[in-house]
Amino acid sequence: MKLGKDMTNTQIAELLRAIAASYQLKGEEKNRFRIIAYQRAADAGEHASSELKDLWDDGKLKEVPGIGESIASHLDEIFRTGTSKHFEAVMKGLPPAMFELMEVPGIGAKTAQKLVSELGIKSLSELEKAAKKGKVAGLGGFGEQSQSDILKSIEETKGRTKRQLLPYAAAHAGAIIEWMLKNKLVKRADPLGSLRREASTVGDIDIAVATDHPVEALAHFVKYPKKSRILEKGDRTASIILPGDVQVDLMVQPPDAYGALLQHFTGSKHHNIALREYALKHGMSLSEYGIKIKGKLNKFSTEEDFYKKLGMDWVPPEIREDTGEIETALTHKLPNLVELKDIKGDLQIHSDFDIETSHDLGESSMQDVVKEADKLGYEYIAFTEHNPSKSKHNEQQVIDILKRKKEAIEKLNYSFVKNHCKSVKKVFNSLEIDILPEGGLSIPDTALDLLDFALVSIHSSFRMERNSMTKRVISALAYPKVKIFAHPTARKLNEREGIELNWQEIFEYCTKNRKFLEINAEPSRLDLPDSVVREAVKAGVKLTLGTDSHHKDGLKNMIFGISVARRGWAEKEDIVNTRSLKEIEKMLE
DNA sequence: GCCGTTTTCGGCCCGACTGTTTTCAGTCG
């Protein structure tokens, strides 16, 4: 555990979990709730919409729910000095290898400590060697079974460093649901957990099944032909592992109690904890079986009835994160979240028009894309190829290329769109322009006049300090033709962290100057991230949805952008391209 | 250690599964 002034949220979460584990091992009863508090603070850090260090910079650390006086003061010390005397003291005497072992599913604090102290191992790989030699099975409290479980778990941890992107998880879940419904005893099957909440990445896949024959349903589940092994199987739940080390958990419940099951396992954990705490204060106890009132269990076949019993409106799964939705559901003021059918156009598409860019070109022709957009019932789309390569062309050559593109789109509008489209009325001539490190654009200023409007985005120098990066972006947005900041954090899920920005400053600039932030619907981006969408919506910033398609089939990814928008509490009004062509032309003028 | 639609003190979510045990501890979601 390395402490330092520049700890990221992930590292801080790891640290706080280590502190929780340390307290757990000290084993004093009074520590019980302190342990939970540290675990909650770790979760809070992990889910925070901004870097904790930035919040600390702004004096807002304590505004993060779960971080109070004490933890904030320790973090303050870390950000100032690079260490915390208190945290160092708490972890003192505990072997560092322990914390590494705890990353293996099935190994918690106590198991880790026992393994490290009794086997004298110093790393995860040493544990693996010891287990292979049969040394673990000989320890008190361990046996052959737990030894082989540990080995399997280590093996799977190696393969499973990445969370799945939403479309892949959805495909897995779809196949399993189809398999479950083949069994006549299964009445219903639905996705649960982060998949049902449509989070951008999904860990384990959870599935709910309604049946009066749980044993048979679970037996059918573990016979799933594509599984690589069965992890566990009880009377109410079972887990299997798919190739690629994807874990699938299945939960069953009779149809008359299915609503409670759906609610319970859809989560999020934080939503459920907050909900149960609220219920407890009102004399009710919640579980996956229903709502207990004065010792009597009430069952619910639907989630709507479950929430109704608590005196609140049904909460859309996408916003069940305990960030205010419970209070809002109680006062019947939940947002009317944007839906796919509200979308009237796609504002980021790359065609195969040869614009001689240094980035990637699209693969489908403009006509094929327009045909696809027409099928989707869109009123308009924008072609937003990357700017022509700056190094390979002089200014005049760039202007010539952009003139050619402008003419091509004009022709498209006058002929193809007019004569062959049912719903599409206009194709916008746009461009995705690189923001240079010093804040300029990578096309000559005069070339901007050839466009209807422009997107700007960052494709280089990702590691700039927050204030310089913010300046860089704002100076690019200042060009009148520039309307949209595309994939604003430039993150790539599982590959690259996003850039650092002062969001409040960006939000303020956007609202004052009618600039828009994009929700990029490309599944490996989903950028803005949902938590930032929430902040942007609160700040009154208007957002655009674009698929960043490089092929006509990519247009259908819009649904994933909708998921992000919904998770950020965006309503129809918050999204620019829910507007009609007339309105949007005005907004982009 | 955190927090407030009973509370600034006194609470703090709920249950399943497994292995190694003989009634439970540890872990997970």
A287 contact to strand B (CB, 7 A limit):
yes
Backbone angles phi, psi at A176, to 5 degrees: -70, -40
Q: Which nucleotide lies closest to A281 by the C1' atom and the CA atom?
A: B6
For position A283, what pLDDT does the model report?
87
Residue in the structure block whose two tokens are 């479980």: A149
Please measure the distance between the N-terminal and C-terminal CA atoms of chain A and give it in whole angstroms: 53
* CB neighbour list of residue A300: distance below 8 Å, 6 or more residues apart: A257, A258, A259, A260, A263, A290, A291, A306, A309
**Bases of strand B lying below 7 A from some protein CB:** 1-7, 11-21, 25-29
The answer to whether A534 and A49 are in contact (CB under 8 A) is yes
Residue range A503-534, pLDDT digits in tens: 999 999 999 999 999 999 999 999 999 999 99
What fold is seen in the domain A162-253? Beta Polymerase; domain 2 (3.30.460)
Which residues, listed in sequence order, are joined to residue A239 by a DSSP beta bridge? A232, A249
Q: Is A455 helix (H, G, I), strand (E, B) or coil?
A: strand
- The residue extents of the domains of chain A are 9-158, 162-253, 269-334, 343-587
Helices (H), A226-351: 258-266, 269-281, 303-309, 325-330
Strand ranges across the sheet with A380-383? A345-349, A380-383, A426-429
Distance CA A135, CA A137 (A): 6
SS3 A428: strand
Fold that domain A343-587 belongs to in CATH: TIM Barrel (3.20.20)
A253: nearest Cα among A286, A285, A289, A224: A289
Quickly give A334 CA vs B20 C1' distance in Å. 49
Q: What CATH number has the domain spanning A9-158?
A: 1.10.150.110
The answer to whether the C-beta of A146 is closer than 7 A to strand B is yes
| A324 Cβ nearer than 7 Å to chain B strand | no
The per-residue pLDDT for A229 is 87
Is the CB atom of residue A328 positioned under 7 angstroms from any atom of strand B?
no
Pick the CATH number of A269-334 from 3.40.50.920, 3.40.50.720, 3.30.210.10, 3.30.110.40: 3.30.210.10
pTM of the complete model: 0.87
Distance in Å, residue A105 CA to nucleotide B10 C1': 35
Q: Which nucleotide is nearest to A40 (CA to C1')?
A: B2
Q: Looking at the C1' of nucleotide B11, which residue has the nearest alpha carbon?
A: A33
Query: Whole-number Å distance, CA A290 to C1' B23?
Result: 28
Cβ contact A532:A503 at 8 Å = yes
| Tens digit of each residue's pLDDT, chain A (589 residues) | 778 888 888 889 889 999 998 888 877 666 788 888 898 898 888 877 778 888 898 888 888 888 999 999 999 999 999 999 999 998 888 888 888 888 888 888 888 988 888 888 888 889 999 888 888 888 888 888 888 888 888 887 776 657 889 998 999 999 999 999 999 999 999 999 999 999 999 988 999 999 999 999 999 999 999 898 888 888 889 999 888 788 999 999 999 999 999 999 998 988 998 899 899 888 899 999 999 988 889 999 999 999 999 999 999 999 999 888 999 999 999 999 999 999 999 999 999 998 888 788 898 999 999 999 999 999 999 999 999 988 888 889 999 999 999 999 999 999 999 999 999 999 999 999 999 999 999 999 999 999 999 999 999 888 888 899 999 999 999 999 999 999 999 998 887 778 889 999 999 999 999 999 999 999 999 999 999 999 999 999 999 999 999 999 999 999 999 999 999 999 999 999 999 999 999 999 8
Say whether the CB atom of A325 is under 7 angstroms from strand B: no
Residues 41-80 of A with CB under 7 A from strand B: 41, 65-72
Is there contact between A97 and strand B, defined as CB under 7 Å from any strand atom?
no
Q: What is the pLDDT of residue A63?
A: 85
Residue A78 CA and nucleotide B8 C1' are separated, in Å, by 28
Within 8 A by CB and 6+ apart from A21, the residues are A98, A99, A102, A108, A109, A112
A234 touches strand B (CB under 7 A): yes
Q: Alpha-carbon distance A303 to A315, whole Å?
A: 9
Q: Nearest residue (Cα to C1') for B6?
A: A281
Q: What is the pLDDT of residues A154-171, one digit of tens each?
A: 887 776 657 889 998 999
User: In the prediction, which pLDDT does A462 show?
Assistant: 87
Query: What is the predicted pLDDT for the residue at A43?
Result: 85
Which helix (H) or strand (E) segment holds residue A418: the answer is helix A418-420
How long a stretch of residues is chain A? Answer: 589
Whether nucleic acid strand B comes within 7 Å of the CB of A286, the answer is yes
CA of A171 to C1' of B5 (A): 43
A137 CB and strand B closer than 7 A: yes
pLDDT of A160? 61
By C-alpha to C1' distance, B28 is nearest to A106
- Report if CB A249 to strand B is under 7 Å: yes
According to the model, what pLDDT value does residue A161 have?
58
Q: Which residue is nearest to nucleotide B27 (CA to C1')?
A: A106
Alpha-carbon span A353 to A365, nearest angstrom: 7
Task: Quote the tokens at residue A325.
Answer: 């939705």
* Cα A575 to Cα A154, A310, A411, A473, distances in angstroms: 45, 32, 29, 21
Residue nearest B21, CA–C1′ metric:
A141
